[in-house]
Structure 1
Amino acid sequence: MILLGIDPGLGTTGWGLIRAEGNRLSHIGNGRLKTDTQAPLAQRLAHLDSMLTALIADHAPDGAAIEEVFVNSNPQSTLKLGQARGVALCAVARTGIGVGEYAARLVKKSVVGVGNAEKAQVHAMVARLLPGVKIDGPDAADALAVAICHAHHLASARSLGVQARPAGISR
């Protein structure tokens, strides 16, 4: 099963693709999708949508997972992050594949073992779980972590005989 992880952001959206075969995970690809900070908001969102749509068409994932929005001290930043996340959810949902949504603390706990892990710890564990991977920066590392978290949750649901909801697992 090919899983796409997305770490949404208006300026930079990280993406990571993994293959999950039982408990075995392997790296397919990762990267960053960037928008022009000088462009109007609507144009940036449309460009993000077209890049995500092309990425999904190129790799045909079986499932996807997106990190949930966290509230930070700047309301404007939170709103822009939410808009980028909405575009990512829409781009994935248009394809009909299931979408899991995970809080950042749950992703960190799934990958590192603690919910308050630092970005460097997440990066290091992703590299350990996917040997030989060359990670394209912290946004891509976070996206790979989201995909790994989703793979673990799907495997747990299968082993317990629980059917994931069609829209994915929401956490």
Structure 2
Amino acid sequence: MSNPRSVTVPRILGIDPGSTIMGFAVVDGGARPAQCVIDCLRLPKTDFPTRLGLIFERLTAVIAEWQPDEMAIENVFVSRNAASALKLGQARGAAICAGAAAGLPVAEYTPSQIKQAVVGRGSADKTQIQHMVAMLLAVPGKLQADAADAAAVALCHAHTAHTAGRLQQGTQRSRARA
């Protein structure tokens, strides 16, 4: 995807948070098929505060290079392992800080909202998400799971924002006629 684009099409940075692998995708929301870059930040096995700093630093570089207009991130999935959930939440916080520091509006979505928007079922599995993301974005080959999840977050936001915009336009037209 090249950086120049139409101003009317929002560029969305989708994030699938992780403390060792963080998926990211930059998707031009209104393009058909959407233009995109899908990748992962692979963090070294080092102390946790260093990894958090690297998340912030590397996402700041991604934001500077691709200049997204908005950011969307998956909410923390609470599991039985509280320590893992806490680390995931901290990694997510470092990612949100990178977006906020760049002045991006940040939207948050639950895993079921993302699956529903991309696959049509809130209980879809990873392979279904990978398949649908590849189809929707015309990506050849198999996508890495974290990268596909990040693209799904961006697509969810694009679909949700598009629908919200259409609803708002309809409401404004109704009020103008009244």
| TM-score by shorter chain over 0.5 | yes
Unaligned runs of 5+ in 2: 1-9, 170-178
Q: CA deviation at 1:17?
A: 1.1
Structure 2 residue aligned with 1:5: 14
Whether the 8 Å contact between 1:135 and 1:141 is mirrored in structure 2 is no
Equivalent position to 2:52, from 45, 54, 57:
45
Q: Percent identity?
A: 43
User: Which consecutive aligned stretches of 4+ in structure 1 deviate over 2 angstroms post-superposition?
Assistant: 132-136
Which of 96, 100, 112 pairs up with 2:107? Answer: 100
1:142–1:74 distance in 2 versus 1, CA, 3 Å? same
Distance (Å, rounded) in 1 between the aligned partners of 2:88 and 2:25: 18
Question: Taking structure 1 as the reference length, what is the TM-score of the superposition?
Answer: 0.89
How many correspondences in the alignment? 160
Which structure has the larger Rg? 2
Q: How does 1:28-67 map to 2 (within 5 A)?
A: 28-37=36-45, 39-67=46-74
- Name the one with the larger helix percent: 2
SS of equivalent to 2:15: strand
- C-alpha separation between the residues in 2 aligned to 1:65 and 1:33? 16
Q: CA RMSD in A?
A: 1.4
CA offsets, 1:40-76, max 9 Å, x none?
1111100111100000000000111000001112111
Whichever structure has more strand as a proportion of its residues is 1
1:73-152 maps to which residues of 2 (within 5 A)?
Answer: 73-133=80-140, 136-152=143-159
User: Which amino acid counterpart does residue 16 of structure 2 have in structure 1?
Assistant: D
What's the CA shift for 1:34?
Answer: 1.4
Structure 1 residues 134-143 or 11-20, which shifts more? 134-143
Corresponding residue for 2:75? Answer: 68
Q: Which is bigger in relative contact order (C-alpha 8 A, separation at least 6)? A: 1
The TM-score, its normalising length taken from structure 2, stands at: 0.86
Q: Which runs of 5+ in 1 are unaligned?
A: 163-171
